[in-house]
Structure 1
Amino acid sequence: MGKASSSLIEFIEDIPEDKLKALPTTHTKIYFNVDYRLDMQGMTTKKPQHHNLQVQVNNGTTITTLKALAPVTVAGTTLVPSENPWTPAEIKADLMAKRMM
């Protein structure tokens, strides 16, 4: 496994649970480090609505192989229901399953 892949796994594992408990309903950065960010892209329009979460590469990444990718999505799209939202562990598991590298 390369540095980019292992750093993405580490990023997802390190997202604090409190950041995933009360998800925002508007576009915002939920959690970040120098290489990645977990973005709330907004709510889906179809009912019932879902939170659209994506991990994206930061423009200021220090990992050489990621620099050319910034700011693309590298994990997600994770759609978390607004009614009966998932636990932080379920959100992290879905992001892990939807890693693109």
Structure 2
Amino acid sequence: MGKNTKRVQEFIDGIPDSKLTALPSSAGTIYTTTDFRLDMQGLTSGDPQKHNLQIQINKQTTITSLKKSAPQTVATLLVLKNDAPSAATIKQDLTTNIII
């Protein structure tokens, strides 16, 4: 596991569970730090609807090796709107889907 993958993992681990147990219905930032942010990009149009979650590199990141890549997506996850899993499961699934 590379340094930047570990940094994304640390970001995921630091997301408060409360931010993942009540996902918003509209697009917006759910949680942010200097280096990364968790965004809800919106709901999918299919049935059943799903929250489109993405972790992206912030433009103001202090990590030199990531500055050129901002605002690249580094993890994605679709979460059922009406049957969302636990915060721990969402964190685990985001970790599995890290693409950096």
TM-score range, shorter chain: over 0.9
Which 4+ residue blocks in structure 1 deviate beyond 2 angstroms?
Answer: none
Cα deviation, 1:33-67, whole Å, max 9, x if unaligned, reads: 00000000000000110000000000000001100
Q: Give the corresponding residue for 2:36.
A: 36
How large is the Cα RMSD of the aligned pairs? 0.9
How many positions carry a matched residue from both structures?
Answer: 100
- Specify the SS of the correspondent of 1:12: helix
Q: Deviations over 1:4-58 (max 9, x none)?
A: 2221110000100000011001111000100000000000000110000000000
Aligned sequence identity (%): 49
Q: What secondary structure does 2:23 align onto?
A: coil
Show structure 1 runs of 5+ residues with no match.
none
The whole-number CA distance in structure 1 between the counterparts of 2:53 and 2:83 is 16
**Structure 1, residues 63-101: CA drift from partner, whole Å, max 9, x if none?**
01100110010011x010012111101110110000012
User: In the alignment, which residue of structure 2 is the partner of 1:70?
Assistant: 70
